[in-house]
């Protein structure tokens, strides 16, 4: 568990010198407890205090970087306790037997935009299916030439020894050390400073592997529990993560991953892994209709519960609205936007939907906070140009009916009070016609 | 080396609620799917959705039922043949704007469905409060010897449906809107009104994937954790409706770059359901037959014991 503000406070000089930029030591301690400041920001803190803190504040799950992808670093078991930090990375396999440029092209095409965020494949896993070091080295070089993101090398220790010389400068993730080859794999990871996956289906032996790797000086470790089904995945991942966070069991203080195949069950495994502590899922293959819902799940699970997902302010035409279509507006809280949008779509009547930036607050909250005032709404309606594109009536969300007189005055056109509940919009629109 | 003991010892246990017709929901005493701490051996139950008026029903879904969706009784039989545990009957046709089905006819339809399939039946009204009150009263009076699950009681409108449930010996669904405190408050309101705690199921609103699933996932988890920690008024089986997935634009849009809409919406609903059951749902309402089949398989595999 993270220490509380008071525990931090006890270790500070308590001089309120303001050198850290905060008015008091207590204020600084509160930032420390929220992980918004570092102990080093205080120039006067004693060596003993620092040491005492380091042993207790080291995150219970190590952050392991593979290129620009961070895995782990988690501090809680449930996202509502604080938030999950580093989203699950998805990788697809590139066999050394396939046409590499064609395959890389297909992987790059798995890319979507949703709520202003681009989703795409984070890594590729180059797998030695040929059993031939020469073929594999050629494939790895071809991948490195056309893929600038992180990658994984999937092969036995013998072949890895030969290929790693070519690839070590990119710090690929090595997959994987098992009981039988642990010594060799750990040595390769150590000599080339590469992160390493440890795999065992037996949790006690997995802990042994982690202890052996750490003893050899390999700390960038990812754990694969070898889960073959959903049940094993949730149970083993829960044991590993609870051990790390609740019991501070160092051998399990690393990111978790799953190696799955392709098709329906592989996606189900990835879904479970994404919800339950998985930092990496390697697929044989992933289809676009599987990828979009999966990426969306990751976005949902890894959203900061205190910072709602927001939609960009702007004009969103629904259907094919024309010069007389009604003009709706609402907040940029994504949940509000999606709900209102879906309900307007249900009516099959074209509408101009203006999204007003309320910093992600919902209708009533934004109104109370003064971020959804008539002035603010009028400003965004004017800025988007919707008023010149349609002479239609402006529909005010029922919850903020109070702004109607003011908005009418500011816009100089007819306004009408809409529904309190989004689900009543279709009926409202039909009657408006 | 030895690894730490990480099982939680909770004091609380989810109520075992009789759904009628030999089915029981609830009984968990640990977090979902963790066999070493959860001795509740019951599988998450799946309810197949049947609608009596297709005017607002997505064509994409209708096409999956091969014409059987035109007859609610046939439709219910099909769900049963697919292995589902329950039927969720939505009486959309009682909506005065659609103007066809009277409360009496609605009650007859419920009776026909009960006669056709020996499964527990959840009954939703059309969503118009005045009509729903009348319909629920009629159904409760007409169906005496089979326990139904009447949906749904909310903060502003719970008395009629609760009275109907009490009078007919039915269960009632307590609805709340993504709010742990309100979820608890609803259970208190209903029991204070006189509904037996053993006759309540709670619906904390399952927001679909990409449309607030993050809120629901955490609200559900918090409800379940509080219940296991001993909060009696939250130890009520949870029912989640995954059919909202069909309202998400990205799930059903025609867009070649996103792949087949049929496969996409199937995953959209399946993932919504998987998130619901992993965060604590005991019963899940499903629309698509392929998605329902997948979720049923996963639920079977994940059951404890």
**B248: nearest CA partner in chain A:** A342
A345 against B118, higher pLDDT: B118
pLDDT of residue B293: 98
Taking alpha carbons only, the member of B201, B188, B195, B125 closest to residue B155 is B188
pLDDT of residue A50: 81
Asked whether the beta carbons of residue A275 and residue B211 sit closer than 8 angstroms, the reply is no
Token duo for residue B278? 């992993």
pLDDT of residue B89: 98
On the question of pLDDT at B36 being above 90, the answer is yes
Q: Confidence class of residue A55 from pLDDT cuts 50, 70 and 90?
A: low
* Average pLDDT taken over every residue of chain B: 96
B186 vs B180: CA distance, rounded Å: 10
Query: What pLDDT, in 10s, does the model give residues A210-230?
Result: 999 999 999 999 999 999 999
Q: Are B177 and B211 in contact (CB under 8 A)?
A: no
Token duo for residue A251? 């051998």
On the question of pLDDT at A1 being above 60, the answer is no
Instruction: Kindly state the greatest CA–CA separation across chain A.
Output: 78
Range among A311-315, A370-374, B297-301 with highest mean pLDDT value: B297-301
Percent residues over pLDDT 90 in chain B: 91
Percent residues over pLDDT 70 in chain B: 100
On the question of pLDDT at A51 being above 90, the answer is no
Asked whether the beta carbons of residue A230 and residue B210 sit closer than 8 angstroms, the reply is no
Query: Which positions in chain B touch A299 (Cβ < 8 Å)?
Result: 210
The CATH architecture that domain B16-302 belongs to is Alpha-Beta Barrel (3.20)
Pairing of the two strands B16-20 and A394-396: unpaired
**B224: nearest CA partner in chain A:** A78
A196 vs A174: CA distance, rounded Å: 5
The residue whose two tokens read 């790895």 is A140
The residue whose two tokens read 């896993």 is A125
Token duo for residue A347? 């009516």
A114 against A266, higher pLDDT: A266
pLDDT of residue A52: 76
Token duo for residue B229? 């920690």
Please state the rounded mean pLDDT for residues A73-82.
95
Helices of type H across B229-260: 249-252
Taking alpha carbons only, the member of A211, A231, A235, A236 closest to residue A221 is A211
Secondary structure element (H or E) that encloses residue A70, with its range: strand A69-72
Domains of chain A by start residue, with CATH: 5-57 (1.10.15.40), 63-301 (3.20.20.20), 314-432 (3.40.50.11600)
Q: What is the radius of gyration, based on Cα positions, of chain B?
A: 19
The residue whose two tokens read 């681009």 is A118
A395 vs A387: CA distance, rounded Å: 13
On the question of pLDDT at A335 being above 90, the answer is no
CA B265 to centroid of chain Cα atoms: 19
Q: Which of B7, B214, B265, B288 to mutate to test the interface with A (most CBs of A within 10 A)?
A: B214
Q: Confidence class of residue B102 from pLDDT cuts 50, 70 and 90?
A: very high
The 3-state secondary structure of B285-296, one letter per residue: EECCHHHHHHHH
Helices of type H across A225-372: 230-246, 264-275, 288-301, 334-347, 363-368
The DSSP output letter for A327 is E
Token duo for residue B53? 């008026």
Beta bridge partners of A259: A282
Query: Which positions in chain A touch B257 (Cβ < 8 Å)?
Result: 112, 288
ipTM here = 0.97
- Per-residue CA distances from A82 to A22, A72, A77, A304 (Å): 23, 15, 9, 8
Query: What pLDDT, in 10s, does the model give residues A148-206?
Result: 999 999 999 999 999 999 999 999 999 999 999 999 999 999 999 999 999 999 999 99
Taking alpha carbons only, the member of B147, B66, B51, B67 closest to residue B101 is B51
First to last CA, chain A: 59
pLDDT of residue A308: 74
Give me the residue spans of the domains in chain B.
Answer: 16-302
* Nearest CB to A289 within list B248, B249, B258: B258
pLDDT of residue A342: 87
pLDDT of residue B132: 95
Pairing of the two strands A69-72 and A256-259: unpaired
On the question of pLDDT at A394 being above 80, the answer is yes
Query: Which positions in chain A touch B3 (Cβ < 8 Å)?
Result: 203-204, 207, 239, 243, 249, 251-252
Q: Are B119 and B81 in contact (CB under 8 A)?
A: no
Q: Confidence class of residue A47 from pLDDT cuts 50, 70 and 90?
A: confident
Tell me the residue ranges of DSSP E strands in A96-220. Answer: 111-114, 117-120, 123-127, 151-154, 173-177, 196-199
Q: How many CB atoms lie within 10 A of CB A431?
A: 8
Q: CA B211, B213, B219, B224 torsion: positive or negative?
A: positive
pLDDT of residue A39: 83
Token duo for residue A120? 């795409």
Asked whether the beta carbons of residue B274 and residue A229 sit closer than 8 angstroms, the reply is no
Helices of type H across A35-132: 47-57, 100-109
Q: How far away is chain A from the Cα of B38, in angstroms, using its nearest Cα?
A: 11
Query: What pLDDT, in 10s, does the model give residues A115-134?
Result: 777 899 999 999 999 999 99
B112 against A4, higher pLDDT: B112
Token duo for residue B191? 């029991």
Token duo for residue B184? 């608890």
On the question of pLDDT at A2 being above 70, the answer is no
pLDDT of residue B29: 97
B240 vs B201: CA distance, rounded Å: 10
Q: CA B218, B228, A237, A171 torsion: positive or negative?
A: positive
């Amino acid at each position: 568990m993270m220490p509380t503000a008071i525990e931090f406070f006890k270790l500070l000089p308590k001089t309120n010198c303001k050198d850290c930029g905060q008015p008091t030591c207590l204020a600084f301690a509160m930032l420390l407890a929220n992980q918004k400041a570092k102990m080093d920001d205080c120039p006067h803190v004693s060596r003993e205090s620092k040491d005492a803190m380091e042993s207790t504040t080291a995150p219970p799950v190590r952050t392991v970087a593979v290129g620009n992808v961070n895995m782990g670093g988690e501090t809680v078991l449930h996202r509502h306790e604080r938030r999950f930090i580093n989203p699950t990375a998805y990788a697809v396999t590139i066999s050394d037997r396939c046409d590499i440029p064609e395959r890389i092209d297909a992987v790059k095409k798995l890319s979507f935009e949703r709520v202003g965020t681009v989703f795409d494949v984070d890594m590729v896993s180059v797998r030695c299916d040929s059993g031939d070091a020469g073929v594999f080295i050629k494939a790895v070089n071809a991948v490195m030439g056309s893929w600038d993101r992180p990658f994984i090398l999937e092969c036995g220790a013998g072949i890895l020894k030969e290929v790693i010389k070519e690839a070590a400068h990119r710090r690929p993730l090595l997959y994987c050390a098992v009981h039988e080859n642990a010594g060799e794999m750990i040595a390769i990871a150590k000599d080339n400073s590469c992160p390493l996956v440890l795999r065992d289906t037996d949790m006690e032996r997995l802990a042994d592997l982690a202890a052996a790797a750490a003893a050899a000086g390999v700390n960038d470790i990812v754990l694969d529990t070898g889960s073959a089904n959903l049940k094993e995945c949730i149970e083993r991942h829960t044991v590993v993560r609870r051990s790390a966070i609740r019991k501070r069991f160092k051998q399990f203080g690393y990111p978790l991953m799953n190696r799955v195949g392709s098709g329906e069950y592989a996606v189900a495994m990835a879904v479970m892994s994404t919800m339950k502590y998985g930092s990496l899922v390697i697929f044989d293959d992933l289809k676009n209709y599987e990828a979009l819902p999966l990426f969306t799940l990751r976005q949902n699970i890894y959203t900061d519960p205190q910072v709602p997902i927001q939609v960009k302010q702007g004009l969103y035409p629904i259907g094919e609205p024309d010069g007389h279509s009604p003009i709706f507006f609402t907040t940029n809280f994504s949940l509000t936007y999606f709900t209102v949008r879906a309900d307007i779509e249900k009516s099959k009547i074209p509408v101009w939907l203006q999204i007003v930036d309320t910093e992600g607050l919902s209708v009533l909250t934004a109104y109370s906070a003064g971020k959804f005032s008539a002035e603010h709404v009028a400003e965004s309606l004017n800025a988007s140009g919707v008023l010149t594109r349609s002479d239609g009536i402006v529909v005010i969300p029922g919850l903020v009916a109070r702004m109607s007189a003011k908005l009418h005055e500011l816009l100089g056109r007819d306004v009408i009070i809409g529904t309190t509940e989004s689900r009543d919009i279709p009926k409202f629109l039909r009657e408006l016609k | 080396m030895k690894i730490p003991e990480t099982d939680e010892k909770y004091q609380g246990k989810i109520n075992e609620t009789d759904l009628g017709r030999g089915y029981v929901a609830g009984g968990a005493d640990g977090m979902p799917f963790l066999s070493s701490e959860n001795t509740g051996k019951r599988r998450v139950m799946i309810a197949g959705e049947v609608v009596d008026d297709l005017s607002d029903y997505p064509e994409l879904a209708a096409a999956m039922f091969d014409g059987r969706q035109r007859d609610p009784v046939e439709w219910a039989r099909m769900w049963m043949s697919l292995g589902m545990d329950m039927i969720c009957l939505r009486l959309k046709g009682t909506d005065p704007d659609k103007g066809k089905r009277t409360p009496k006819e609605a009650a007859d339809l419920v009776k026909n469905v009960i006669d056709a399939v020996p499964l527990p039946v959840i009954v939703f009204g059309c969503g118009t409060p005045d009509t729903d009150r009348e319909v629920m009263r009629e159904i409760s009076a007409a169906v005496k010897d089979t326990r139904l699950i009447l949906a749904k009681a909310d903060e502003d409108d719970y008395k009629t449906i609760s009275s109907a449930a009490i009078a007919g010996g039915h269960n009632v669904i307590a609805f709340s809107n993504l709010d742990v405190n309100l979820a608890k408050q609803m259970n208190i309101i209903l029991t204070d009104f006189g509904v037996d705690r053993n006759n309540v199921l709670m619906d904390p609103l399952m927001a679909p994937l990409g449309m607030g699933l993050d809120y629901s996932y955490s609200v559900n988890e918090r409800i379940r954790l509080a219940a296991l920690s001993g909060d009696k008024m939250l130890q009520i089986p949870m029912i989640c409706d995954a059919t909202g997935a069909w309202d998400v634009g990205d799930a059903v849009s025609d867009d070649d770059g996103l792949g087949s809409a049929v496969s996409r919406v199937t995953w959209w609903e399946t993932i919504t359901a998987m998130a619901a059951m992993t965060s604590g749902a005991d019963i899940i309402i499903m629309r698509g037959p392929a998605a329902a089949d997948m979720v049923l398989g996963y639920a079977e595999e994940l059951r404890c014991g």
